[in-house]
Amino acid sequence: MSRVLVTTDYLGPGDDIDDLLRRHGHEVTYAPARGARSRAEALALFDGIDGAVIASEPITADMLETATSLKVIARSGVGYDSVDLAAAARHGVRVCNTPGVNHDAVAEMTIALILTTARKLSAVLCGVREGRWPRGAGRELRGSTLGVIGYGPSGRAVAQLGLAFGMSVAVHSAHPTGDPGIEFVDLDTVTATADYLSLHTRAAAQAGHLIDRKRLQAMKNTAVLINTARGSLVDEDALADALEAGDIAGAALDVVAREPLPADSRLRGLDNVLITSHLAGQTVEARNRAGLAAAQAVIDVLAGREPAHPVDKETV
C-alpha cells in the first residue's frame, strides 16, 4: 500500500478526493499547509510518503533530498513555481499540476475585482458600516478597455466576460488566436491603452518583474491594475510608489509576493488598493475539480502511467 500525503488545506478525510485515493488502495495522511512550517517539519514532511497532493507551499531541494520514497508531487492548482523542478528531476520525482480546473472561478473573481474598483464598493461598504451614507459616482465598464496579459484558459475566460460587459478587449499573448472581438497587441500597447490591466500569465523565467516601474509609469493615470495570477509579476515597491503618486488610479491584487501580506507592507495603508487573500480560484466547484485532478495524477504515476498534466517533461 502506497502512502499519499495531502497538504492542500481545504481537502480532508471523507471528501471525494480522499475516497478516490483510498478506492485505489492508497493510505492517505494529512498535513495541511497553514502558514510557514518549521525547518524540521518541512524536512520531515515526505518521510515514508510515495505521492503528494500539495498546496502552493515551497517544496525545496532540501525537502526532496530526504524524500527517499517520493515518486510524484501533484499541485492542486495551476502554479508550480513553488516546487524546485530541477531537484525533483534529480531525485526522480514527477511533478504535475491541474490546469483548466479553475479558470471560470478566476475569471469571475477578476471581473468582481474590476467592478469593485469601478464602483468604489469597498469604500461604500465600509462607509455604510461606519454609519455614513456615501454616494460617490463610480464608472461603467461598457466602453472602457480591458487589457489582458496572458491568454491561457483564465485570460481567455476574462476576455470573453469583458466582451459581454461591452468592453473593448486588447490582449498580449505569445500565442494569438483569431477569436472574434479580441485585438492582439504587443506588451507596450496593452499596458499603455488599458483602463483595466489584468494579469493572467505565469511567472517569468528571467529575473525582474513583468510589471515594473517603467511599465507602471506607462499606464494611464486613470488605469487600474488587477493581478489574480502570480505575486512575483509585480514590483510591489514600484506599485506602492505609483499608487501614492497617482501614476495609476488603483490596484486590485488577489496575489502578492509574500503571503500572507506582511503587516509592514506599504500596500496595507493605501486607500486605492484592494487586496484579497489568494482566493480567485477558490470556489467549491473549482476546489473539488482541482483535488480530483491532482489525486488522479498521483494515482496514475504510482500505477506506472503517464499523468495528464506533467510539468517536468523538460527536466525529466
pLDDT at 196: 99
pLDDT at 15: 97
Q: Which ranges of the chain have pLDDT less than 50? A: 316
172, 278, 289, 309: the catalytic one is 278
Task: Answer yes or no: are the C-beta atoms of 148 and 170 closer than 8 Å.
Answer: yes
Task: Report the alpha-carbon distance of residue 277 to residue 255 in Å, rounded.
Answer: 7
26, 75, 230, 289: the catalytic one is 230
pLDDT at 212: 97
pLDDT at 79: 84
The DSSP letter of residue 310 is B
> Mapping DSSP to helix (H, G, I), strand (E, B) and coil, where does residue 232 land?
helix
For the entire predicted model, the pTM comes to 0.88
The answer for residues whose C-beta is within 8 angstroms of residue 59's C-beta and 6 or more apart is 73, 82, 83, 84, 88
Is 259 labeled as catalytic in the residue annotation?
Answer: yes
Count of positions (residues) in the chain = 316
pLDDT at 36: 87
pLDDT at 173: 97
> Mapping DSSP to helix (H, G, I), strand (E, B) and coil, where does residue 88 land?
helix
Chain-centre distance for alpha carbon 250: 20
259, 268, 305, 306: the catalytic one is 259
Task: Report the alpha-carbon distance of residue 114 to residue 301 in Å, rounded.
Answer: 40
Is 278 labeled as catalytic in the residue annotation?
Answer: yes
Among candidates 97, 46, 71, which has minimal Cα distance to 297? 97
pLDDT at 316: 46
pLDDT at 205: 59
Task: Answer yes or no: are the C-beta atoms of 80 and 95 closer than 8 Å.
Answer: yes
Task: Report the alpha-carbon distance of residue 110 to residue 160 in Å, rounded.
Answer: 12
pLDDT at 163: 98
The percent helix, strand, coil of the chain (3-state, each to 5) is 35, 15, 50
